[in-house]
Amino acid sequence: MATGKPQPAFVLVRPQMGENIGAAARAMWNFGLDRMRVVAPRDGWPSEKAVAMASGSGRLLDEAQLAPDLPSALEDCTYVMATTARPRDLTKTVFTPERAMQEAQMRIARGEKVAVMFGPERAGLENADIAQANAIISVPVNPEFASLNLAQCVLLCSYEWQRAAGEAEPVVDAMAGTDWATGKEVEHLALHYEDRMDDAGFFYPEHKTESMKLNLRNMWSRMPLTRADVQMLHGMLRQMVRWKDRGD
């Protein structure tokens, strides 16, 4: 079923109902999208209810990637956008769905791997999920009724992707012999800094540790890091630790 056409991956994070996964698959295939990733579905996988709801797009579910957690689902991605209808206390670039899919089109045209995250039906993505994204897609819904069905949100982004396809001019970056860092590489960098800074007593007082780590993760995801950048940042930290251990 895979079209082979360059496109973003749509990542369903902890979806709760098989019917909604199936409806999301149907919405994607309406607009020629077939790269679905499913993170820790509540009712398990595969899902008969998802297949029944998907109708003629059931093969999309057969080819969907299942991931146990969000870092695993994003490890090969270089740019991630998170959908939300609620304001968040995180510093991020915020796109409308239309502008977001234009951005995705431009980045994919120059060889990047883009993902769009959709949260579980009951409450949407958590801040810890959004901290792993580079940008936010804010859906301009009625503020008195901000709840948006999972499949509806997928349909909206799929439609905007089709509108953007072919309209965006590709942009070429001078990469100077490197590539954009993947999600896995940024995750390892974040863990390296958290471990060393924890050893140094940076996370103090203890009750603020989690919020400090969340802000640090959010900072990494906002930075357009290349693999060379990641290697340099690892090396800088290792050298500082060596200098400290010399006792100079």
Same-domain pairing of 148 and 215: no
The residues that bridge with 10 in the sheet, in sequence order, are 36, 116
Query: Beta partners for 37?
Result: 11, 65
Residues of the chain above pLDDT 70, percent: 95
Same domain for 159 and 240, yes or no, is no
147 and 219 in a common domain? no
Q: What is the pLDDT of residues 58-105, one digit of tens each?
A: 889 999 999 999 999 999 999 999 998 776 788 999 999 999 999 999
Question: What is the average per-residue pLDDT within 192-221?
Answer: 94
Q: Output the domain CATH number for residue 112.
A: 3.40.1280.10
Q: Is residue 55 part of a domain?
A: yes
Q: Are residues 75 and 194 in the same domain?
A: no
The confidence score (pLDDT) of residue 27 equals 95
Contacts with 18 (C-beta within 8 Å, 6 or more apart), sequence order: 41, 43, 47, 48, 49, 50, 53
Q: Judge whether residue 56 has pLDDT over 80.
A: yes
pLDDT at 2: 57
Of the pLDDT bands very low, low, confident and very high (cuts 50, 70, 90), residue 5 is confident
Residue 235 lies inside a defined structural domain of this protein:
yes
| Structural domain harbouring 231 | 183-246
32 in a structural domain: yes
- Would 171 be classed as within a structural domain? no
In a domain, 169, yes or no: no
**Spatial distance between the Cα atoms of 96 and 137, rounded to a whole number of angstroms:** 6
Let me know whether 21 and 106 are in one domain: yes
The reported pLDDT for the residue numbered 247 is: 63
Same domain (yes/no): 121, 205: no
217 and 119, same domain (yes or no): no
What's the confidence (pLDDT) of residue 141?
A: 81
Concatenate the DSSP letters of all residues of the chain into one string: -------PEEEEES---HHHHHHHHHHHHHTT---EEEES-TT-SS-HHHHHHHGGGHHHHHTPEEESSHHHHHTT-SEEEEEESS--SS--EEE-HHHHHHHHHHHHHTT--EEEEE--TTT---HHHHTT-SEEEE----TTS----HHHHHHHHHHHHHHHTTTSPP-----TT--BPPHHHHHHHHHHHHHHHHHTT-S-SGGGHHHHHHHHHHHHHHS--BHHHHHHHHHHHHHHHHHHHHT-
Q: How far is CA 89 from the centre of its chain?
A: 18
Examine the domain organization and report whether 110 and 200 are in the same domain: no
Residues 96 and 190 in one domain: no
| 27 and 146 fall within a common domain | yes
The verdict on 113 and 211 lying in the same domain is no
* Domain total of the chain: 2
Looking at the structure, tell me whether residues 187 and 100 fall in a common domain: no
The answer as to whether 224 is a domain residue is yes
